[in-house]
Amino acid sequence: MNCVRFERSQGLPKELQLQIDLPTSKSISNRALILHALSGGSIYPDNLSDCDDTQVMIRALTEENPVIDIHAAGTAMRFLTAYYSVTPGEHILTGTERMKQRPIRLLVDALRSLGADISYTEQEGYPPLLIRGGNFAGREAEKKCSGQSAETNDSEITLAGNVSSQYISALLMIGPSLPKGLTLHLTGELISVPYIHLTLQLMKAYGAVAQWNDKRTLRVEPGRYRDVPFKVESDWSAASYWYEVMALWNQEFPDAPAPSILLKGLQPHSAQGDSRGAELFAKLGVHTAFTDEGVRLTKLGTPVARMVENLVDIPDLAQTFVVTCCLMGIPFRFTGLQTLKIKETDRIKALQQELHKLGFVVKDEQDSILSWNGERCPADTCPSIATYDDHRMAMSFAPAILCAAHLGIEGLVIEHPEVVRKSYPSFWNDFRFVPFKE
């Protein structure tokens, strides 16, 4: 089995002084690629992520292949479903076996209501999809010729706000391509709102007129995207694992320099929702200072005794905070995790199973809440952490080796470490500072 193996060392080094070149944002890269393609322009986005998910998008948008295999890239599945719906041609969109188990009916139904021609090739409600694109304007003309009212606003749809924000972003980005633009009404609880804000910001950068009409209504005017230069910034999601390292670092030598990690390329006031992680890590004793180069992390203050947070807007940081709090011995209750069950794996179940190997009994409620009250169980001697084809499982558990002595374990194994290629291909190279034998 392919794995990364760490062995417990006899002692920690005196100091932690790192500079990390973070990967660029996968979320921004994938949106910029779709917007560039819809613009029909020639100015390619700069500083794109080199992760698997973005490379899948690049191949899909540049290679003339009727069958598009996006592997495990959920973002690509959602964004390309909408993109191919407004793009002339016929495509089959497929992926891994896990991808074929991830529901997509809500997005398909919304696109069909707008005039898209999409059918399921295997299981109703799930990929693979057969998409015959580019017929929206033609269908509008057909309605007028058949005597149907030209005033019918079939660009107005309603969607539950508690679904994946990627559905909403996928619809918003094709809005300018629709004959009447798009009015999107969101009902119920709204989740992952920062990702919607991010999409709107990038759309505006490419010349679209898109905004919130009110707290539950989004409006995109018909028109064309502009061909503009665009540079992708570094990834706040990837930064979270270095925040975790700093939070877990135990300074054993009082005469050593204060621990410091410089994360290059991060920007203040970022539209990335996961930048909020800095605020939450402050409660765990990690201080964030912005510099001309990026962000410098240091230890400052006393961690909270208990952490209670709603992570509905930053679900991709759930694994980082759950693992970090357990390893720091900080009881927690995290709500707003309803989307975790439909990610690369069922992340709620995966976290419970793998933390049990480290000696922690984590509870779940209503498929949307994870909590830990301090309950422990015997840890495995050398835990082997399954990653479930999920990049965030690998990266959030790797820093646990810093706590080997505290946990009473002899080492740590991360199974299928290659999964980090999905968002952070250089993670293991960057993680080489860890003073343990691989």
What residues act catalytically?
316
In sequence order, the 6+-apart residues with CB closer than 8 A to the CB of 215 are none
Helical ranges in 277-339 per DSSP H: 277-282, 318-328
Distance of CA 199 to the CA centre of its chain: 13
- 3-state SS, residue 130: strand
Distance (Å, rounded) from C-alpha 227 to C-alpha 382? 53
Measured CA to CA in angstroms, residue 249 lies from 99, 171, 242, 276, 285 at distances of 37, 43, 10, 21, 11
Strand partners, 287: 298
Tell me if 96 sits within 8 A of 187, measured CB to CB: no
Work out the burial of residue 65: count CB atoms within 10 Å of its CB; fewer than 13 is exposed, 13-18 middle, 19 or more buried: exposed
Tell me if 153 sits within 8 A of 140, measured CB to CB: no
Distance (Å, rounded) from C-alpha 319 to C-alpha 419? 15
Distance (Å, rounded) from C-alpha 303 to C-alpha 321? 13
Work out the burial of residue 217: count CB atoms within 10 Å of its CB; fewer than 13 is exposed, 13-18 middle, 19 or more buried: middle
Distance (Å, rounded) from C-alpha 41 to C-alpha 19? 36
Do the bridges between strand 156-160 and strand 17-21 make them parallel or antiparallel, or are there none, so unpaired?
unpaired
Tell me if 250 sits within 8 A of 169, measured CB to CB: no
Distance (Å, rounded) from C-alpha 363 to C-alpha 311? 16
In sequence order, the 6+-apart residues with CB closer than 8 A to the CB of 145 are none
Q: What are phi and psi of 349, to 5 degrees?
A: -65, -40
Q: E strands of 322-375, at which residues?
A: 332-335, 363-365, 369-372
Work out the burial of residue 285: count CB atoms within 10 Å of its CB; fewer than 13 is exposed, 13-18 middle, 19 or more buried: middle
